Every structure is written in C-alpha cells, then in structure tokens.
C-alpha cells in the first residue's frame, strides 16, 4: 500500500441551531473495523508525535479540536496534510511513515484504529521501514 491509498475522508456533518454532529461507522466512512480509539492532547507547541509506521494497522486521524499537520511517506513519495476540522479525517493505510507536528494550542487528535495496541506492529526506525518497503 502506498500514499495513493491514503486519503482525506469527509465525515457526515449534521448541523442545526444546536451545533454540529459528525460520526464514523466501521465499513462505511472508514474501510476497516474499529477496534481501538486513542487520542493525543496536551501536546506542547513544537512537539512532534508519531515517527513510525505500522505493518498492518489502518487508522483514521481527526483533529477533534485545533489543528496539526501530518507528514505521510511511503518510502518514495511524501505529502503533508493539514487537519483542522472535526468533520474530516485522514485515512492512513498500513506501511506509511507518519509524523504529526505543528500542533496548535489545546489541540486534540483522535485516532480510530483497526487493531488493539501491539508494539510488534510498529516500525520505529526509518531505515528499517525503508528496508521492509524495498523487501516487500
């Protein structure tokens, strides 16, 4: 899987005088079953999160509050995607190196993931990531 498989997903947004409601359903808005939700918050200005790839994991990342950027890299092509809207998420397929940066104050990143946490699924070293990509 490569960068062309990653994409921004516009989520349903139901707006009325009481505010907005968005939702994500497994197999509908996202092409995977959701087995875990985690979130990043209290991220200091200038901090960089991520810095790894996943062998099997599918994810959807949403800026639930505030904004940040995600660098995605398949070992050949790179792209930087800005997220700043709770009704839009970035789908990241397996085997994509990612770095999250440029967090605004009080931002919250919510991540929907296809599997429970498994450290064995991580490639935390960029050279190892490139090696696996070339091998595969």
Which residues in this chain contact ligand TYD in the complex, by CB under 6 A? 36, 38, 40, 49-50, 52, 117
Rounded to whole angstroms, the maximal C-alpha distance in the chain is 54
Provide the 3-class DSSP secondary structure of residue 112. strand
- List, in order, residues 6 or more apart from 116 with CB less than 8 Å away: 35, 36
Q: What is the phi-psi region of residue 102: left when phi exceeds 0, alpha when psi lies from -120 to 50, beta otherwise?
A: left
- Nearer of residues 113 and 133 to ligand TYD, judged by Cβ: 113
Catalytic residue list: 52
- Nearer of residues 14 and 80 to ligand TYD, judged by Cβ: 80
DSSP state of 3: G
- Nearer of residues 61 and 75 to ligand TYD, judged by Cβ: 61
- List, in order, residues 6 or more apart from 4 with CB less than 8 Å away: none
Lookup: tokens for 53: 């790839």
């Amino acid at each position: 899987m490569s960068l062309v498989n990653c994409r921004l997903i516009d989520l349903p947004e139901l707006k009325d005088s009481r505010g907005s409601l968005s939702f994500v359903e497994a197999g509908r808005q996202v092409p995977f079953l959701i087995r875990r939700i985690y979130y990043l918050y209290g991220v200091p200005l200038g901090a960089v999160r991520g810095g790894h790839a996943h062998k099997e994991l599918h994810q959807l990342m949403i800026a639930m509050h505030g904004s940040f950027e995600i660098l995605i890299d398949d070992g050949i092509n790179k792209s930087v995607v800005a997220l700043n809207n709770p009704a839009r998420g970035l789908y990241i397929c397996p085997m994509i190196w990612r770095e999250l940066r440029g967090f605004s104050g009080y931002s919250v990143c919510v991540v929907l993931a296809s599997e429970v946490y498994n450290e064995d699924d991580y490639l935390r070293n960029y050279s190892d990531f490139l090696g696996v990509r070339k091998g595969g």
